Amino acid sequence: MMSASTHTPIPVACLLGPTASGKTAAALAFAARRPVEIVSVDSALVYREMDIGTAKPDAEERARVPHHLIDIVDPADAYSAADFRTDTLRLCGEIAARGRMPLLVGGTMLYYRALTQGLNELPAANPEVRASLDADAAREGWPAMHARLAAIDPETAARLAPNDSQRIQRALEVFLLAGQPMSALLNAPSREDTAAHWRFVPVALEPSDRSVLHERIARRFDAMLANGFIDEVERLRARGDLHAGLPSMRCVGYRQAWEYLDGAVDYATMRDKGVFATRQLCKRQLTWLRSMPERIVVDCCADDAVERALTALEQAVG
């Protein structure tokens, strides 16, 4: 099996892909062949009480193979890419010590990049993130954006004027991309790469025809609605300690359902906005994946996609 004492980096298969690409089915099929434990690479699955809208693996699936980093954070709290990196490196060691294989599965590419590249350096500019921040600023104004920054990075906000749009945008962009305040990144000491013990091998489920994935996304969102997604969000709202600005409630689908329950949009508009937002998430995920030339690509639209994924995963772990 795997030895944690060897100096040769241990290969760890990472099954990555956009939403609705079939990651869960492929992961469970691989777990039927190999003694693996799944480590979730998903920024929404960490939250408790958010099951339907996150397409969380069900009890039967989680009983078939151990899953980690699911249901570990209350929706009122935050969980960063830095937290993920720390937890995943620890889990890889613990799983290997049990004589089993860690299998990383998910679509939060920021988490994967944090794991494999670290977080000390400030992330490069991201046009999509900046466009989203500009749209928020157009609605709310830059003083409100400055207040948002003050809540997550008071040190940086304290040195910026409330209308310093360029620097406020950059500080918010860094937080969204890195999961840590800019001040923390700038103040962090250089560190030895604790991920060097592992060799993370990305297997990417990508569509040869994106319209196929779009159809899956629409069907899955409709199934979530039919299975009580709105009731789930109503229960979360009824707690009284959650609001639409929290990272948990800004997850795709939850933001649109919250707007609907606020009376800001009707049901049909909420549904269409939810599907559109999920498609946009899919687009961002594919952009991240295609920036990784080392990945092993599997066509998730193929009839034998699961078998192809299994072959790729076997290749990844050797």
Residue 209 shares a structural domain with residue 272: yes
Let me know if residue 3 belongs to a domain. Answer: no
Let me know if residue 275 belongs to a domain. Answer: yes
Annotated binding site for ATP: 17-24
Where among 161, 187, 213 does a domain terminate? 187
Domain housing 146: 127-187
Where among 155, 187, 219 does a domain terminate? 187
Structure tokens at 298: 């599997």
Longest dimension (CA), the chain: 58
Residue 89 shares a structural domain with residue 106: yes
pLDDT of residue 194: 58
The CATH number of the domain where 171 resides is what?
1.10.20.140
Annotated binding site: 17-24
| Closest by CA position to 150, among listed 181, 184, 186, 185 | 181
* Contacting residues for 19 by C-beta, under 8 A, at least 6 apart: 55, 107, 217, 220, 252, 278, 281, 282, 285
pLDDT of residue 190: 45
pLDDT of residue 4: 44
Residue 259 shares a structural domain with residue 309: yes
Let me know if residue 5 belongs to a domain. Answer: no
Per-residue tens of pLDDT for the chain, all 318 residues: 444 444 689 999 999 999 999 999 999 999 999 999 999 999 999 999 999 999 999 999 999 999 999 999 999 998 888 889 999 999 999 999 999 999 999 999 989 988 998 766 678 778 889 999 999 999 999 999 999 999 999 999 988 878 888 889 999 999 999 888 988 887 765 454 556 899 999 999 999 999 999 999 999 999 999 999 999 999 999 999 998 878 899 899 999 999 999 999 999 999 999 999 999 999 989 998 998 999 999 999 999 999 999 999 999 998
The CATH number of the domain where 99 resides is what?
3.40.50.300
Phi, psi of 246 (to 5 degrees): -70, 150
Residue 84 shares a structural domain with residue 196: yes
pLDDT of residue 157: 92
At 237, which amino acid appears? R
pLDDT of residue 189: 57
Where among 167, 187, 207 does a domain terminate? 187
Residue 166 shares a structural domain with residue 265: no
Annotated binding site for substrate: 19-24
Residue 95 shares a structural domain with residue 216: yes
pLDDT of residue 119: 67
* Contacting residues for 286 by C-beta, under 8 A, at least 6 apart: 18, 206, 207, 210
Residue 161 shares a structural domain with residue 251: no
Helix runs in the chain, H state only: 23-31, 59-64, 81-97, 109-117, 127-140, 142-152, 154-158, 165-178, 182-187, 210-226, 229-238, 254-262, 267-290, 305-317
Residue 98 shares a structural domain with residue 178: no
> What total number of domains does the chain contain?
2
Answer yes or no: pTM beyond 0.85: no
The rounded distance, in Å, linking the Cα atoms of 238 and 245 is 16
Residue 56 shares a structural domain with residue 197: yes
